[in-house]
Every structure is written in structure tokens, then in C-alpha cells.
Structure 1
């Protein structure tokens, strides 16, 4: 495969389930949340961890229901409400005075900046695969349901942030990763022919969205949660460069 071949394609990486293990990451987040909040705001470390755990479970259940009923509001409005509720819920659970609302964004992004680069949850082989594809001349982006600031932090911790041109989470296109509009907006923003896009995700539903508008797809089957259901797939990230090469040459 020549550099001219690779430079014609743009690869979009999902994060959780593709680059990082969500279960391992969640465990680390719980501890680091307590370690961040307790010294700064008081309260016991384990209570902050419990507060975060309870809130995330609650908000994810709400999100799933809203998505199924097609009742999601615009992403950036949703995320602003998420921050407000998260900070309020956390402080109330621990029994510490809730900071003024104008401080909530600052608190949220301080937490993200402090924790995300220190998470060590990347799947075996993923860092090497990313560097390999970058060296070959592929343009790399993210296409994740996480906020772009979180994505930058995780990739900084993996020491591969420099490999990526942009860090697409829903905030950059103001739409949830809940249908093909998410990918359509990203492709249009980059004047990209979907036939030159390669979307890597673990969840078949997201691959279906990408494929629906003409993108190439690769399924990451790294955790055993999903069986391969697409022609191109990997069960270990060290297989990715070879699979991408086959896809490009098809």
C-alpha cells in the first residue's frame, strides 16, 4: 500500500470498546473522582465515588429511554444540563454545599483535565495500530459519543494525540451519536466523500448508521460483547493495519 493510497482515506475511531476498555476505565474513574473531590471540597473520598456512580447510572437510564423514544434534545443543550445536574447531585449526595451554578462548567472541565490523561485502559495493540496507520499517511479522527475535551485527554494519556487531526464528539457537531446525522455532519464539515471514510466501532448499530450514508466500516470485537457481523472486523487491535489495507485495496 502506498502513501498515495492511504492519504485518500480518513479513519474514524470510536473510543469506548475500540480504543479503551469501558469497564477498566470506569473502575479507575471511580477512584480518581474521590481522590479529586475529597481534598478540594471535603467529604469522604468513597462518598464522592458513590455519588458519581449513582448519578451516571441514573442519567444513562434516562438517556437510553430518551434515545429509544427519539426525544433527545440538541447535544450541547443536553450536555449543559448534564453538567448542572452532575455537580448538583454529587455535592448534595456527599453533603457539601453546592457551588454557584456559574462554577459548574469550571468544575466539570477541571475534573476531565485531571482524570482523563491518567486513565490507563487502552486495549492491547491499539497504540501501536494508531501510530502505524498515522505513519502510513492515513488521516485520523475520532467519532465518539464522548465530549471532545474528554477524547483529547484520553489520547494525551495514550500519547497518540498528535496522530489525530480532530476529536469528534457530539459537541463539535451538536448532535448525539444516535443516528446517521452524526456521521453526515462530520463528513460534510470535512468535505469528505463517505466512500473515503473508514469508521471503526464496536457496536453494530453505529456501523449501520455510518454504512447507511456510504462509509466503509470495521467492527472492533475486542470484548466479546459483540460477535462479528461485518465483513471487516478485528478481534485484536494488532490486526487493524492489515484489515485496513485489505479494505483500501478492495
Structure 2
């Protein structure tokens, strides 16, 4: 028997923020950050960022961060900058530590300025908090990036912790991510609702005892979820029934 839901673990991309809108925003802001610091043209930086998946193919595979996400993430940020700079035709600092520092500065600059929230998402988060639910993220994105996005949305204060893989040192491509999130938060799965747009993630969370909510405008025909909503804005009403 499902215990009363007290806590929500909410994904970011595809749930709170629209990745299709966020991508162009990232490219624009990345160029805005790097042109005055490293040189090159805005167009070249934007093009390099749009092509980043191909440039660092293999580093981006889900299993790359499976065993030691923290080490993977730092190496990823260094290569991310170096590969883009090589395409743009500008030099990066010779020291990897400085490359990492510069990449982190860019990340923080960009994430706080991106505006890609789904309509009604900000209001939904506020409503869920007013309903008395404890709120956490459960995302495949680093917690520092999540913090920037949520501060930009004006909802950071509603969340107790921002779970990205770095807080549990495990990528989101495995059930162990959810085991670690529940353990780290101290919240029993049976008291939790995991909100995501990926049915596989929900299947993992559900197998541990959590209630699940799929956010999708076109859900698969045989998806198993406690709730199915077309957008996050519909969730407060679904939980209030």
C-alpha cells in the first residue's frame, strides 16, 4: 500500500524547462561569455556549441559518468572548452585547472541567464510548495547548473536540495542513482513522487517503491505511472484530487 506522498523529486529538462528553447539560449550566452575572454566571433562560438555532441563523442555517453561522475564531469568541462576553442580557432589556458575554472565560470554565467521555463512551470512549483510538499530535483544535470536555472526562474528557494549526479556521484542512467538520492535525502521511496519525462527513469524509481508521474503530451500506450500529465502545470490539480 502506497504511503502518503510527502515529497516530490522533480526532473528539470523536459519537465520544468524546455530543452528545445534552452539549447539556442545556451549557445547565445556562451558566445556572450567567451568572446570577450578568449576572442573569436559570436557566430563561431555558437556554431561550436551546437556541434559539441559530435566534437566530444564518447565523453557524452551515459555510461561515461556511471562509476565516478565527479571525475567524469571535471574532465568533461575541460574537454568541452578545449574542443570548442579549437573549432573557433582561439587558444585556451595551458593549465587544465584554469580551463576548468573558466568553464565553471561560463556555466554559472549561462545558467542564471537562460530563460526556457515551460508555461506555468514556475507557478506550479509555487503551488506544490504551498500544498505542503517537500521539493527536491532529480535530474541528470549537475547541481550547480540546476541552481543557476532555478535562480533564474525565481524558484530556487522552494527546493531543499538539488539532486544532480554530483551529489550522489552516480549518473542518472542507472537505478542506483535513485537508490542514492533516496538514501542521501533521507526520504523513503514510499513517501515520494518522482516526476520525469522519461518512462525508464520512472520505472527505476517505481521499482524502489516510489509513486511516479510521467510528464508527456504523447505518452507511450503502455507506460506504467501513478500519474500522467501533459505538463507540470497540471500536477498541482492532479495531486489535489
> Structure 1 length normalisation: TM-score?
0.88
How many angstroms does 1:21 deviate by?
0.3
Q: Alpha carbon RMSD of aligned pairs, Å?
A: 2.0
Distance 2:57 2:134 in 1: 32
How many angstroms does 1:231 deviate by?
4.0
Distance 1:42 1:71, change over 3 A: closer
1:124 aligned residue: 119
Among 45, 61, 65, the residue aligned to 1:48? 45
Counterparts of residues 178-197 of structure 1 (less than 5 Å) = 178-197=173-192
Counterparts of residues 157-176 of structure 1 (less than 5 Å) = 157-176=152-171
Among 60, 64, 84, the residue aligned to 1:63? 60
Q: Aligned to 1:63, what secondary structure does the other structure show?
A: coil
Distance 1:97 1:190 in 2: 42
Unmatched tracts of structure 1, length 5 or more: none
8 Å CA contact retained: 2:65, 2:170: no
Unmatched tracts of structure 2, length 5 or more: none
Aligned residues: 236
2:77 aligned residue: 83
Among 150, 153, 157, the residue aligned to 1:155? 150
> Structure 2 length normalisation: TM-score?
0.91
How many angstroms does 1:91 deviate by?
1.6
Q: Does 1:244 align with 2:236?
A: no
User: Which is further off, 30-39 or 16-25?
Assistant: 30-39
Distance 1:62 1:113, change over 3 A: closer
* Cα offsets for 1:201-248 (capped at 9, x unmatched): 0010100111111111000014x4x446234111133211122234xx
- Structure richer in helix, relative to its length: 1
1:15 aligned residue: 12
Q: Does 1:27 align with 2:24?
A: yes
8 Å CA contact retained: 2:12, 2:137: yes
* Cα offsets for 1:15-43 (capped at 9, x unmatched): 00000000100011111111111122111
Distance 1:58 1:144 in 2: 24
Among 85, 89, 97, the residue aligned to 1:95? 89
Q: Aligned to 2:137, what secondary structure does the other structure show?
A: strand
